A and B are shown apart, each in its own frame.
Chain A
Amino acid sequence: MRAVGWEVVIGMEVHVQPTTRTKMFCGCAIAPLNAPPNSHTCPVCLGLPGVLPVINKAAVEACLKTAVALNCEIPRHTKFDRKNYMYPDLPKGYQISQYDLPMSHDGHLEVGERRVRIRRVHLEEDTGKLVHAGDRLHKAWESFVDLNRAGVPLMEIVSEPDIRSAEEARDYAVALRTLLRTVGASEADMEKGQLRAEPNISVRRTGTTELGVKTELKNINSFRNLYRAIDFEVKRQIEALESGHDVVQETRGWSDAEQRTFSQRTKEFAEDYRYFPEPDLPPLELDPAWIEELRRALPELPEARRVRLVSQYALPLHDASLIAAERELADLFEGAVRAGADAKPAANWIIGEVAPGGSVPTINQLADVVKLVTSGSITRDQGREVLAESIRSQRSAGELVAERGFAQVSDESELEAIVREVIATNAKAAADYQAGKKQALGALMADLKKKAPNANPKMANEILQKLLQ
């Protein structure tokens, strides 16, 4: 929302699960979502005495690739620290994270027209999962703990407070997901919990520079809810301030069912983490040659692709931005053009039909429909139907067009024969038209559509007018 007189200030903390086979500090396999509780643990991630963590190379590599793609500076030396707090989802009593020497810092990500600065990208481990028993959360009388996720690697990507609206926050998260998938650092599926976005939100009077009191939002599980939660929270803060109340610095949860944020006050766990260097892990030396190698091996990044879509296919910048924002769409676009579809119509179909629809056709499905419509073989509406049906039934566009008799008649002599028949059976309307009653053409065209529904309407109209001259 755009509230008059107020500026919205948002910074994002995003936790991303890098694509690895094993956990951050032990060889336990990453558990599938439906795994039985506590079936993927070992003495290391259970926090049993006498064990030592060993860093997963693939997690470090994913983090470095992400850092490079986000234009971050990567130091020679980095280290891990203990973040201490007592909570049953954390069997060791501390989380291994990074405090003052993160894996990388000071980068940026281009989101539409805005450059969002990245403060840091660091590595840590996930916690276990708690299930609360009881009728409602606050009346829970016991909790159940599943440690399958304890020790799963996480990258934390922290932005500066450079985001100015709920739309931009959503676009930032989408851009980040595309980047992570492009470099192969993470699947970044929000619904599977592989990407968790926690916006920090405050508002201030337009023209002032001091930051307002912020709240942090949690439990957001989709891009749509990210937008809604921020939109709600911005309105709530502005209403509070305009009616003379204060915004309280706190963590708030998003309730999907109630479509609102609510206070998650956890007074007892006030932030007092007593960070100190992890004594079980020596500092990590990052070899610049390794980082250079990762940098050279990076595929084309979304921002570069956006620029190329404009120069190579003469797409308008707006189209290129929408298409490059999602790798799947950009691959579909370039594939369809390679398969013979014209660039601009292909872009229009992707932006107008594919992106809002949710289900993505194969390259050939889209290319076939775009070619059939562009060449005038079928109408746009028929094209929409064929595309939807070919996604649903996985059948080729040509097959569906033949089956439904959609194939548009564009053959001139064939059309002329049809038109002559229409004139013959509508002699009065034809005479009226020739006498100057232009609207009589409508009746003739209507009959033509009835007689030959697949006739190319534009060509038939031209032939009709020519024959009646």
Chain B
Amino acid sequence: MPLSRDQVRHVALLARLGLEQGDEDFYAEQLSGILRHIDRLQELNTDAIPPTAQVVEVAATLREDVPRPCLTQEEALANAPAAVDGFFRVPSIQEEA
């Protein structure tokens, strides 16, 4: 089933992507193609195979709880589009409330 325009708008909102006029249909078609591909993979019978989240056969290693040097405040903020008094400055995130 192809994605609806509403679903495309919802996904775009979650990813904070702006859509131009007509983009919904274009992306609906593209995203539906990806979903169709996944549906084909779903046809395989995988009952006997344990689910896996990783293709690399290693287990996670644990790190000892020993501090390492941090960046300085100046370094941390060096690439920020805007900074004030040691803080990153961002547009209000409360505007739609």
Contacts and interface: CB of A to CB of B under 8 A. Distances in A.
B73 A140 contact: no
A40 B70 contact: yes
Interface in B68-89: 68, 70-73, 76-77, 84-89
A22 interface: yes
Contacts of A279: 54
Contact of A20 (B14, B65, B91): B65
A212 interface: no
Nearest to B72: A39
Interface in A274-324: 274, 277, 279, 281-285
Contacts of A132: 92, 94
A145 B63 contact: no
Interface in A1-60: 20-22, 26-29, 36-43, 46, 54-60
Interface string A130-158: 11101001101111111100000000000
A194 B58 CA distance: 33
A86 B90 CA distance: 13
A79 B53 contact: yes
Contact of A137 (B14, B61, B73, B94): B94
A180 to B, nearest CB: 17
Contact of B54 (A84, A145, A265, A277): A277
A55 B66 contact: no
Contact of A88 (B13, B56, B84, B88): B88
B41 interface: no
B14 A272 contact: yes
B67 interface: yes
B48 interface: no
Contacts of A87: 93
A202 to B, nearest CB: 25
A430 B14 CA distance: 94
Output the residue of B10, B64, B72, B93 with the most chain A CB within 10 A: B93
Nearest to B14: A272
Give the size range of B's interface with the partner.
35 or more
Contacts of B84: 144
B62 interface: yes
B13 A268 contact: yes
Contact of A281 (B60, B64, B68, B88): B60
Given A29-B70, A267-B96, A57 B91 contact: no
A26 B65 CA distance: 9
A178 B62 CA distance: 28
Given A28-B68, A277-B53, A88 B62 contact: no
Contacts of A54: 61-63
Contacts of B85: 37, 144
A268 B96 CA distance: 8
A84 B15 CA distance: 9
A248 to B, nearest CB: 16
Instruction: State the majority secondary structure of interface residues on A.
Output: loop
A38 B87 contact: yes
A132 B94 CA distance: 9
A384 to B, nearest CB: 45
B92 A55 contact: no
B86 to A, nearest CB: 4
Contact of B60 (A20, A134, A283): A283
A265 to B, nearest CB: 7
B38 interface: no
Interface in B41-63: 53-54, 56, 58-63
Contacts of B16: 86
B65 A282 contact: no
B97 interface: yes
A78 B14 CA distance: 28
Contacts of A140: 92, 94
B61 to A, nearest CB: 7
A282 to B, nearest CB: 5
Given A28-B70, A41-B70, A55 B63 contact: yes
Contacts of B63: 27, 54-57
Interface string A51-75: 0001111111000000000000000
22 contacts: A22-B66, A27-B63, A37-B73, A38-B76, A39-B70, A43-B71, A46-B71, A55-B62, A57-B62, A57-B65, A60-B62, A86-B16, A88-B88, A88-B90, A142-B89, A143-B89, A144-B89, A274-B14, A277-B54, A279-B54, A281-B60, A283-B60
Given A27-B66, A38-B77, A56-B65, 8 more contacts: A57-B63, A88-B93, A132-B92, A132-B94, A140-B92, A142-B91, A143-B92, A277-B54
Closest 8 CB pairs of A and B: A27-B68, A277-B53, A144-B87, A58-B65, A57-B62, A145-B88, A29-B67, A37-B86
